[in-house]
Amino acid sequence: MFMYANKTALITGASSGIGEAFAFSLAVRNCNLILVARNETKLKELAKELSAKYNVKATVIVLDLSSPGAPQTLHLEVQKQQLKVDLLINNAGFATYGYFEQISGERQHEEVMLNVAALVDITHAFMPDLLRNRDGGLINVSSTAAFQPDPYMAVYGATKAFVLSFSEALWAENRKRGLKVLALCPGATETSFFDVVGSSEASVGSRETPQTVVKNALKAFEKGRSHMISGRQNYWVAQVSRFFSRQTTLNIVERTLRPQN
């Protein structure tokens, strides 16, 4: 078991969706919070609500994690406020959708910087905190998109494959050092994710609520799992590559994600 009470969790992308659901679920468990995102208004409203309802300390740090040097800025700000992170949840990320060459190169670069580079840099910066008392935790939000290449979401799928591989490697490195590491792999979820993507065609299968995803994630995390696919349907979708050749799998995924116009 992981004891949450009186510990501090840092959550990126905390202002909505899965990040916000994590914040509520941890506050219920009497865990103090460091909430990180770009939207200052939403973060402050969330922090105020959580503090009043659950009597936890909720610290707000407003930051665009895709910008150069942002992970280092985050770490310095946490140190400045003399906070120690016991549980790190790397949730911030976004996707792009469409033919690769038709998507802004700058936007796809930001996607890699946030989904991969920032996640690695933040994890590296806070790893000493997580290992401090041999009872720390790390949850990196990947996706079912990590289990096969994703035509029309080529960069997103590749970034999430990185997150899954990276997280499972850290799980193996640290499982005897008192650090729990989980790669959370949700499928389509009822968040603003698809508003950012700009197309519902990127959604595969029925959508879970963020609360369901987080409930499943914390169960798997507490059991010491290396990764968790939320939802039975999503689990079987992620297994397609085990039963078909890579080329057949790609053809299936391409037809599923193909733009309709």
Residues 46-64 have pLDDT tens digits of 999 999 999 999 999 999 9
**189 within some domain:** yes
Q: Kindly tell me if the per-residue pLDDT of 203 is higher than 80.
A: no
**201 within some domain:** yes
**235 within some domain:** yes
Give the residue numbers marked as catalytic.
Answer: 156
53 with 27: CB under 8 angstroms? yes
**114 within some domain:** yes
The closest of 71, 94, 89 to 182, measured between CA atoms, is 89
What CATH number should be reported for the domain holding residue 253?
3.40.50.720
Using one digit for the tens of pLDDT, what is the confidence trace for 161-189? 999 999 999 999 999 999 999 999 999 88
**What is the model's pLDDT at position 260?**
85
**1 within some domain:** no
- Sequence-distant (6+) residues with CB within 8 A of 189 are 17, 18, 207, 208, 209, 210, 213
**What is the model's pLDDT at position 65?**
97
Residue for token pair 């707000």: 60
In 136-256, the DSSP E strands lie at 136-141, 179-185, 227-229
Domain that holds residue 15: 8-257
Is 82 exposed, middle or buried (CB count within 10 Å of its CB: 0-12, 13-18, 19+)? exposed
Stretch (H or E) spanning 12: strand 8-12
Using one digit for the tens of pLDDT, what is the confidence trace for 64-116? 999 999 999 999 999 999 999 999 999 999 999 999 999 999 999 999 999 99
**What is the model's pLDDT at position 191?**
63
Stretch (H or E) spanning 90: strand 87-90
Q: Give the angle subtended at the CA of 87 by the CAs of 81 and 91, to the nearest 5°.
A: 95
**81 within some domain:** yes
The domain total for the chain is 1
**3 within some domain:** no
**What is the model's pLDDT at position 240?**
83
Average pLDDT on 131-145 reads 96
**2 within some domain:** no
Stretch (H or E) spanning 58: strand 58-62
Average pLDDT on 226-237 reads 89
